Each structure stands twice: as C-alpha cells, then as structure tokens.
Amino acid sequence: MLTRDQVYIMLMMRNQSNLFSSPIMPNEIVQLISDYEPSNSKIEIALKCAASPQKERVRQLLIMLDNNPTLLLQAGRVITPGGDIIKRTTIYEFCLGAGDADLAKKVQHYFSQITNGEQQRIRQYKRYQCHIENMLKQKPYDLTKLINLVKSASMDDVIALLNYDETHTSELGNALIQFKQDWQPKTIEQSSMHYNYNSLHHAFKQLSMEWEELYRKSNYNFSKIHLVWRQIIGFEMRRLPGIDRCIMAQGIYYYIKKGLFNRTYEFKNSYRELFPDTDHDDSSEISLGKKFAIDVLFGARSSSRCSARVRQEQFFNYLDAYFEQKQADLKNLYEDNLQLIEQSVYKYS
C-alpha cells in the first residue's frame, strides 16, 4: 500500500510523462493511482473505525495501530455515519476534519514510532490548521427564507408535510425539497471540516427567535414549530460526524457541565435507542429529519417536546461552550505537536 504522498508523486509523474499513460502500465497500478481502494483493506477498516468512533471501534483502531503504525501514512476513502464520502484522507486527518480531537490525540503518539513521523504529523495537521482556525467563522446555511415560508404557509400545507402527504404540492413543500437536496451527503476531496456547526447553531437560533410567531401563525398550536424542529433542524442533524453523535446522544449538558463522555450512540435519556446512522436515504416515516430531531442538551430523541429548550439562554450557553471547546481541543493538538518536536530536537542536539 502506497502512502498518500507517494500516490500524489506518481500522479504528477503521470501528468508529465507518456510512461504512465502507456498501455503496458499494469492495471493494478492505474487503479491505485486513482481512487481505487481494495475492499476491506487495512486502511479502509481503520478509517471506518475512525468514522464511527464508538468504544469498540476505537479499541479496534488502536490495536491496528499497535500492530502497524505506518497506517497513519496511508490514505483512503470512507463514508461517514452521515453519508458524506471523504476521499484521500489519512486517519489523523479524518479525525481533524470530523472534529474528534480526543481520537486524534489517541492516535497521534503513534507517529513517534515511524521514521520522521513527527514531521509527518505536523504536515498533516497543517493541512487542516486554517479550517480549524475558521471553523466557527463559517457562513451558515441561511434558513431565513425557508422559515418565512413556514410562517406564511397555510395550515393545510403544514399538516400535509407533517403527515408526509406526497400528493399535496405547495411552495413550502418545494422549498423543503430544495433544502433537503442542499443537505444531501457530499463528497469531500480537499481538506476541510466535515460539518458546518454554524449552520446548526443558526437553525436553533431561528427557531428560538421565531417561536412566538410560528406558534401564532399556527393558530396557537405547535404545528409549524414541529415542522421546523423535525424536518429542518432534524434533517441538518443527519450529516453530523460520529463524534458529535456520541456526545449529543449522551447530552452536551453532561459533557460540558460534568465532564462525562462515553463513546456510544445510545441516548442517555431515551431507553435503548441509538442516534441512527443516516448514510443513505431513509424512506421510513419515523426517521431522523422526518419524525424527530435530537435533544442535544440532554441526549434524547424528540418529536417536539424538547424543542422548547431553544428558548432558554442556557441552551445556547452550553451549545456555544461545546463548539468552542471542540475548537480549542483541536487547536491544542498543534501545541502538543510543537512541544514534541522541540523535545526531539533538544534530545538529539
């Protein structure tokens, strides 16, 4: 298995030489130069473990690195629990893009077991450094027009959408179709954060700001609030990275306030229910983004009851603290890198 840097060198040579376009070039090498990845290869398995970072998967990943730390130099392709396809990523880079600083810290010490490994770790981190620096400055997906359509829509239109009546057409229904198309799984080929946290924050904020108006425009019931909570906020949650599924399933409140963190998709306050994988279109009427969203503060699936939390200042205090802590932990990884490099220089000087 070639490392990602070796593959890039071969691609450059192919672009500049007739040798690599020769018909005598072995098909196996052509496939390797492209995005080909053998099924169940070690790097593919390792990336799957990083993508769905529950306790047993993380243990499996660390055992693989114990046996072969050079896996950190290899790149592959993986599908996230939210269905996004991440191409040409290493294990460490995937952890950074997914915002999983805890797992990145667990795997990064294996670089010290590789020749020039610490320099490789710095190189991989630098590919993501600007994205980490700007992760809370990203432009959110703007829901203003869609929320305005919800407010102005007839109750017949809203009830039809809540009941998944595909025979009923409306301007709001068409706008929701476009919204869901915009939030379909994407392919990520360049270094970037895998999720825009400002978009989810904006969605919560819109519901908080428009709560009274949505209630009033629903003839003083919760139908339009239900629609925003379940089919807009819930749908944005379908793309969340694995680490956020673990923490939100367990509750941001417990993570920030009490320092509790379990790598599991099991909801803390929904008995025997899990944060679902949403890596493919789910036609089920009880799926995330149709029937329910997640009470991210206390870890439960909720059709509507917990949506009232967004009206409380405490909700945004904890949400902001979580996003800011995530960014700070990712930034601290670079400081750890520099300290190890300095120690290495001092040791051999």
pLDDT in tens, 9-27: 555 555 555 554 554 455 4
pLDDT at 228 over 80: yes
d(C-alpha 134, C-alpha 335), whole Å: 17
Both tokens assigned to 176: 């929701």
Residue 347: predicted pLDDT: 47
For the stretch 296-340, pLDDT in tens is 999 999 988 788 889 999 999 999 999 999 999 999 998 766 655
Residue 314: predicted pLDDT: 94
Percent of the chain scoring above 90 in pLDDT: 78
Q: How confident is the model at residue 343 (pLDDT cuts 50, 70, 90)?
A: low
Give yes or no: residues 314 and 169 share one domain: yes
**What integer is the mean pLDDT of 224-245?**
97
Question: Residue 241 in contact with residue 323, Cβ under 8 Å?
Answer: no
Residue 30: predicted pLDDT: 44
User: Which H or E run includes 188?
Assistant: strand 187-188
Give yes or no: residues 93 and 154 share one domain: no
d(C-alpha 19, C-alpha 16), whole Å: 9
Q: How confident is the model at residue 37 (pLDDT cuts 50, 70, 90)?
A: low
Number of helical H runs and strand E runs in the chain: 16, 5
Give yes or no: residues 339 and 320 share one domain: no
Residue 106: predicted pLDDT: 97
**What integer is the mean pLDDT of 177-184?**
97
**What integer is the mean pLDDT of 79-91?**
97
Give yes or no: residues 13 and 76 share one domain: yes
pLDDT at 162 over 50: yes
Task: Find the domain containing 57 and state its range.
Answer: 4-135+333-348
Helix 313-348 and helix 101-108: axis angle, to 10°? 10
d(C-alpha 52, C-alpha 41), whole Å: 17
Q: How confident is the model at residue 156 (pLDDT cuts 50, 70, 90)?
A: very high
Give yes or no: residues 182 and 68 share one domain: no
Give yes or no: residues 72 and 186 share one domain: no
Both tokens assigned to 107: 């795997």
DSSP state letter for 69: G
d(C-alpha 235, C-alpha 253), whole Å: 22
Give yes or no: residues 101 and 187 share one domain: no
Task: Name the residue among 83, 80, 82 with its Cα closest to residue 95.
Answer: 80
DSSP state letter for 180: H
SS3 state of residue 189: coil
SS3 state of residue 107: helix
Give yes or no: residues 311 and 343 share one domain: no
Give yes or no: residues 227 and 283 share one domain: yes
Dihedral sign, CA of 329, 333, 338, 339? positive
d(C-alpha 80, C-alpha 49), whole Å: 10
Mean pLDDT of the chain: 89
Q: How confident is the model at residue 345 (pLDDT cuts 50, 70, 90)?
A: very low
Cβ atoms within 10 Å of 307's Cβ, excluding its own: 23
Task: Name the residue among 93, 63, 62, 60 with its Cα closest to residue 76.
Answer: 93
Give yes or no: residues 304 and 199 share one domain: yes
For the stretch 134-143, pLDDT in tens is 999 999 999 9
For the stretch 106-130, pLDDT in tens is 999 999 999 999 999 999 999 999 9
Give yes or no: residues 24 and 88 share one domain: yes
For the stretch 265-307, pLDDT in tens is 999 998 889 999 998 876 665 699 999 999 999 999 998 878 8
Residue 270: predicted pLDDT: 84
- For the chain, the domain total comes to 2
Residue 271: predicted pLDDT: 81
Give yes or no: residues 180 and 67 share one domain: no
The mean-pLDDT minimum among 40-44, 106-110, 242-246 falls in: 40-44
Q: Which single residue is written with the structure tokens 């359509």?
A: 149
d(C-alpha 184, C-alpha 293), whole Å: 17
What pTM was computed for the model?
A: 0.88
